């Protein structure tokens, strides 16, 4: 009986050490995945704008500036940075040019407690790319990806003046909400 109690005590001590470490690993992994998803969406929009020869937009799924509610990539036929659901499924003209907005990909919302905000108002509504691959915003901007107010694991997704996106090292975010 004493051996069983000692085994349980040792297992409890090991678990109390391992669980916080596992939680921080899980948080870092989620932040990395979310940052990679956003950069992937921006790269997809840029390459599709070049390939299709028309503006492609990445827009958040929420109201105002709530990027943590997920985002979508779509062909923006009228350039208004708003997805207007088509009557048909991505119809094109006889020469293959889109005739209405066409949804390319949808990304799910972030887990509870995670936030994704922009550094200034450049990308509050959307990030769009012209057929030449340039961003509609000529100055760079930064998205801040945070888990609560923890600055040590935060990520910054930086978009330069021509629209290229990259992820800055963990903890490089100026502030978290």
User: How distant, in Å, are the alpha carbons of 30, 45, 147, 148 from that of 85?
Assistant: 30, 18, 32, 33
- CATH value at residue 162: 3.55.40.10
Say what the pLDDT of residue 93 is. 75
The confidence band for 65, taking pLDDT boundaries of 50, 70 and 90, is: low
- Tell me what the pLDDT averaged over the chain comes to: 83
Counting the structural domains of the chain, the total is 1
Convert the pLDDT of each residue in 119-154 to its tens digit. 766 778 888 999 998 888 767 788 888 888 777 778
DSSP label at 65?
T
**Model pLDDT, residue 105:** 92
Is residue 58 situated within a structural domain?
A: yes
What's the distance, CA 92 to chain centroid? 28
**Two tokens, residue 44:** 């997809």
167 pLDDT above the threshold of 70: yes
Residue 153 within a domain:
yes
Is residue 88 included in any domain, yes or no?
yes
Q: What is the structure's pLDDT at 70?
A: 92
Q: What does the CA dihedral 21, 24, 28, 30 come to, rounded to 10 degrees?
A: 110
**What's the whole-model pTM score?**
0.82
């Amino acid at each position: 009986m004493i051996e069983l109690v000692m085994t349980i005590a040792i297992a409890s001590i090991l678990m109390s050490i391992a669980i916080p470490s596992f939680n921080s690993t899980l948080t870092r992994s989620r932040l990395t995945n979310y940052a990679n998803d956003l950069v992937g969406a921006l790269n997809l929009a840029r390459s599709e704008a070049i390939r299709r020869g028309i503006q492609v937009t990445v827009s958040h799924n929420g109201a105002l500036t709530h990027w943590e509610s997920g985002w979508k990539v779509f062909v923006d036929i009228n350039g208004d940075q708003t997805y207007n659901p088509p009557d048909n499924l991505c119809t094109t003209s006889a020469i293959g040019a889109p005739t209405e907005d066409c949804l390319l990909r949808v990304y799910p919302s972030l887990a509870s407690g995670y936030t994704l905000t922009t550094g200034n108002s450049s990308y509050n509504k959307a990030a769009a790319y012209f057929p030449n691959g340039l961003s509609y915003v000529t100055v760079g901007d930064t998205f801040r990806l945070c888990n609560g107010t923890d600055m040590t694991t935060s990520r910054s997704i930086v978009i330069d003046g021509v629209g290229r996106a990259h992820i800055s090292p963990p903890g490089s975010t100026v502030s978290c909400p």
